[in-house]
A and B are shown apart, each in its own frame.
Chain A
Amino acid sequence: MAKDIPDPIAPEKLIEEVLSAYPAKSAKKRAKHLGVAAPVAEGETEIVSKCDTVKSNIKSVPGVMTIRGCAYAGSKGVVWGPVKDMVHISHGPVGCGHYSWSQRRNYYTGTTGVDSFVTFQFTTDFQEKDIVFGGDKKLEKTIDEINELFPLAKGISVQSECPIGLIGDDIEAVSKKKKKDIGKTIVPVRCEGFRGVSQSLGHHIANDAIRDWVFNGGEESSYQPGPYDVNIIGDYNIGGDAWASRMLLEEIGLNVVGSWSGDATLAEIENAPKAKLNLIHCYRSMNYICRYMEENYGVGWMEYNFFGPSQIAASLRAIAAKFDKTIQDKAEEVIAKYQPLVDAVLAKYKPRLEGKKVMLYVGGLRPRHVVDAYHDLGMEIVGTGYEFAHGDDYKRTGEYIKEGTLIYDDVTGYELEKFIEGMRPDLVGSGIKEKYPVQKMGIPFRQMHSWDYSGPYHGYDGFAIFARDMDLAINNPVWGLFDAPWKKSA
């Protein structure tokens, strides 16, 4: 590793240091987002930090290089984009759809361009005249053209970009009208990028659109449910995550009716309320619709975690406990079946990774969900934070992390760089925007949104890949080449 590495600085000190760089008004605001996991207080059950309170899910401070995205990214990019047999229109100017085109690696099977459309960029490509005169007519025509050119598409979603809400377009009226015309589900989504403070509101709006335009107003589902029907909710099948998870659920005897929304079809969305149980992985992005299904269709929901063998086994048992003994026995069989793989993975990689310190900064569930996967490999989490968490996410984080862990909410580029510099972890897991600055500092890095083009990381099949990836990142010889030999101090 390059540089003479100074001793790590205490998290409290680091927070104080970064805050001192801000103008007073912003320092005050940012202080509420930074904290250190405190010991369990009397009467409390879990580790807490300052971020446990209401100091998350609030507006980003302008000009600080927030890493967050927008509501459109949360709806089109996360929730709707992976629904493979629908055409998702990026409604507005060309950019949003362009930058998000094929970037989340939501794997799917199908014939792209014929019955599947995930890796497409459909847009109304707004011009000045559309801003001035409104885009409703253009949207109508767009829907007709989609219907003609993609006859096997099962439906269409309209993903609003910023201008739509500002120019007073009525995409709901257009959607209703065109649904009658073409006889297919059309879902208008008011996910304009300026709404809310991050991707998070986009998730919520996208969930509401499922409620309003698929469950109520879509096609009636004729699916005949069985006693072991479940849905996977909040797994976007990045690098095939939902498939590695589905494999395990099927092995313990469950039927996965809906895969939301990685590799999903519209039918899987429509049929989901008939399942017995919703299994939710990314709580942040899809808890809303789970609560709705519970209230209106009596479908219970539970969170689970398929990162790393400890959590996978615990989750399989917890899921099985919701069913009968057949399922419970099978769950034990499956855990036992995969134990030799787990043992082999740990035998190979744990010695190479034990004691390594990790800092994370990711999105919806991963800042907590992946923690035990690292623990399984003997690694330690020294800092973690979320782009767009709410208070309930931070509350759920306590059980995973250790006292003294640095916590950062909606971290800024400046803070993250200083924290990494100060703590000198052995590995950072974050996004593409963070990858190259961190690597130039001589610190190994893995993208933890896209799995750095690897994956799956879910399930037992995924854990082997996860362990291998962490090893190859940390133990690659390139980190030893940073110093030119003639520059080395005597």
Chain B
Amino acid sequence: MPQSADKVLDHNKLFHEPEYKEMFKNKRATFENAPTAPQVTEILDWTKSWDYREKNLAREALVINPAKACQPLGAVFAAAGYEGTMSFVHGSQGCVAYYRSHLSRHFKEPASAVSSSMTEDAAVFGGLTNMVDGLANTYALYQPKMIAVSTTCMAEVIGDDLNSFIIQSKEKGSVPEDFDVPFAHTPAFVGSHVDGYDNMQKGILTHFWKDAERAETDSINIIPGFDGFAVANIREMNRMLAAMGVEYTILSDVSDVYDTPSDGDYQMYAGGTKLDDVKAAINAKATLSLQEYCTRRTLEFCEEKGQKTAALHYPMGVAGTDEFLMTVSELTGKAVPDCLTLERGRLVDAMADSQAYLHGKTYAIYGDPDFVYAMAKFVMETGGEPTHCLATNGSKDWAKKMEELLASSPYGQGCQVWAGKDLWHLRSILATEPTDLLIGNSYGKYLERDLNIPLIRLTFPIFDRHHHHRFPTFGYQGGMTVLVKILDTIFDKLDTETGTLGETDISFDLTR
């Protein structure tokens, strides 16, 4: 009997005790109709071969382990960044349970959203009644300042018209006539969560700006985009912009939403962009997107309203942050202050100190399009070589931009860009053309296990490590976080490889 009260064995130890191992062996031999060990080895080896890679990359229909989610997740995330806002997702209810769970598992925070709970009858007759009753209930129970409506694919397939449904709900008194109910159609079968983010942002701005007059001010708007590190990144950005003395409004500020204190009170609504500020944001002279692929439609709308626009690809690393600061400086006429120049110098100093360990390291990078772009750019600044860059939700246009970026540096030569490919493709790619390091999210741990390539978790979602998202990746300070994570991984690997007493420990160096 392996278990004891004295030293309670958890699953990670318990099931490796002899009693359990014997049980597994018998189960497999007697009941499972399992393939033989040589068969398993043969296929395992084959899955890592060039032959398998060719067949795998030739897939046309099957998608395996894609690094993307669906539109409404992005919509719920975008809406969460507004003051007192409840997301109301029109369609089947299971979806909402999924978005909430997904966000909570990453942020380790509450994630609120409601569903209109449509079932078979709504599939036949449409979901108007669900909308009418649902808005009334949400308004009464959760007392939001705004309800942001998006859709699941069920509502999209049957063609429910949100605009008309919301008007009718207001006529029926579900919510007051002047209550803010912006909406966005967010079909799960088009694009990914980054498009849902875009659509909801556009929906919210359209709601507040469509009939408003614009009187230009010196302020600018900043749209952060879908970002698992948003909590810390937005705060870091605030710090930099305060140092510059810029007047600005963040459109969708989730920093205090997904980071509320434990003080005995659960606050369903904390932080977020003030609704008055959203209204006033039409007057901004410009809107700056920090992630172009999260905001294309939104920026078009801002342009239609007469604003200047600019779009970056996730301001990370030295040049990424330089570009952010210079763009802000250009848009606002404010100079970049010395304190930020100093921070820049510190990041460059740190990179110089460690360059010997970074130079020539090869990387596979996957994630959302803007993140992969920024990450590859930063890696090249350290003398690293991005060897495979993959975005399941990356378009041909993204691939082209990536290729331009890679062509701009000697460290990008030979890098392959994989738009629309998934993580099972990446497994084949890395099995045949391995890299030193892998940068991605928690799902990358399966690749790390299968291929023995260390994973650095730098993008959403991160489920199996806690609180990384509470430290920034944006800006020079954020660059420091990213740099240290990469270096720690490199040093840990070196120590592991040289860490066996009397065998491999010749280079088990105290100072590195």
Contacts and interface: CB of A to CB of B under 8 A. Distances in A.
Interface in A47-99: 59-73, 85, 89, 92-96, 98-99
A433 B153 contact: no
Given A111-B44, A440-B265, A149 B55 contact: yes
Interface string B23-40: 110011011111100011
A344 B117 contact: no
Given A26-B137, A267-B31, A464-B5, A439 B94 contact: no
Contacts of A197: 119
A128 B188 CA distance: 9
Contacts of B4: 341, 344, 464
Contacts of A194: 91-92, 118-120, 122-123, 154
A267 B33 contact: yes
Contact of B110 (A61, A119, A142, A437): A437
Contacts of A405: none
Contacts of B142: 65, 413-414
Contact of B70 (A63, A95, A102, A196): A95
A146 to B, nearest CB: 6
A162 interface: yes
Contact of A461 (B14, B61, B153, B266): B14
Given A149-B52, A257-B31, A23 B140 contact: yes
B395 interface: no
B468 interface: no
A465 interface: yes
B397 interface: no
In this complex, which of A89, A162, A247 has the most chain B Cβ atoms within 10 angstroms of its Cβ?
A162
B61 A142 contact: yes
A199 B52 CA distance: 37
B187 interface: yes
A396 B140 CA distance: 34
B380 to A, nearest CB: 30
Nearest to A26: B137
Interface size class of A (residues with CB under 8 A): 35 or more
Interface string A223-240: 000000000000000011
Contacts of A123: 63-64, 66
Contact of B117 (A1, A21, A66, A461): A66
Given A23-B136, A95-B95, A141 B61 contact: yes
Contacts of B192: 94
Given A149-B56, A439-B262, A483-B264, A125 B66 contact: yes
In this complex, which of B34, B43, B62, B73 has the most chain A Cβ atoms within 10 angstroms of its Cβ?
B62
B8 interface: yes
Interface stretch (A9-17, A314-322, A452-460): A452-460
A380 interface: no
Given A94-B69, A98-B68, A130-B189, A22 B137 contact: yes
B295 interface: no
Contacts of A23: 136-137, 140
Contact of B32 (A193, A267, A460, A461): A267
B266 A441 contact: yes
Contact of B119 (A99, A145, A196): A196
Contacts of B10: 454, 465
Contact of A71 (B62, B69, B94): B94
A66 B115 contact: yes
A145 B59 contact: yes
B62 A109 contact: no
B334 interface: no
B11 A456 contact: yes
A216 interface: no
Interface string B125-144: 00000110111111011100
A138 B59 CA distance: 11
Contact of A114 (B8, B43, B59, B443): B43
A109 B28 contact: yes
Nearest to A110: B34
A483 B263 contact: yes
Contacts of B262: 2, 439-440, 442, 478, 482
B266 A337 contact: no
Interface string A470-483: 00000000100011
Contact of B69 (A99, A152, A271, A412): A99
Nearest to A62: B134
Contacts of B189: 92-93, 126-128, 130-131, 163
Nearest to B52: A149
Contacts of A61: 117, 133, 137
A151 to B, nearest CB: 6
A148 interface: yes
B349 interface: no
A433 to B, nearest CB: 5
A113 interface: yes
A95 B34 contact: no
A459 to B, nearest CB: 9
B93 interface: yes
B100 interface: yes
Interface string B230-270: 00000000000000000000000000000011111111100
Contact of A437 (B108, B154, B266): B266
Given A26-B137, A69-B98, A243 B20 contact: yes
B110 to A, nearest CB: 4
Contact of A433 (B20, B40, B101, B157): B101
A482 B137 contact: no
A25 interface: yes
A246 B23 CA distance: 9
A340 to B, nearest CB: 9
B466 to A, nearest CB: 11
Interface in A196-219: 196-197, 199
B354 interface: no
A109 B11 CA distance: 13
A195 B35 CA distance: 37
A59 B119 contact: yes
Contact of A338 (B1, B98, B108, B111): B1
Nearest to B187: A128
Interface string A403-427: 0000000001110010000000000
A268 B5 contact: no
B211 interface: no
A488 interface: no
A62 B11 contact: no
Given A257-B31, A464-B4, A121 B66 contact: yes
Contact of A122 (B5, B64, B115): B64
13 contacts: A61-B133, A63-B138, A64-B138, A85-B34, A114-B47, A145-B61, A162-B152, A167-B157, A193-B93, A194-B118, A255-B30, A271-B31, A478-B262
Lowest 4 CB-CB distances: which A-B pairs, in order? A70-B94, A2-B264, A63-B134, A95-B70
Given A193-B152, A432-B101, 9 more contacts: A63-B134, A63-B136, A63-B137, A152-B39, A243-B20, A417-B266, A433-B100, A439-B262, A465-B9
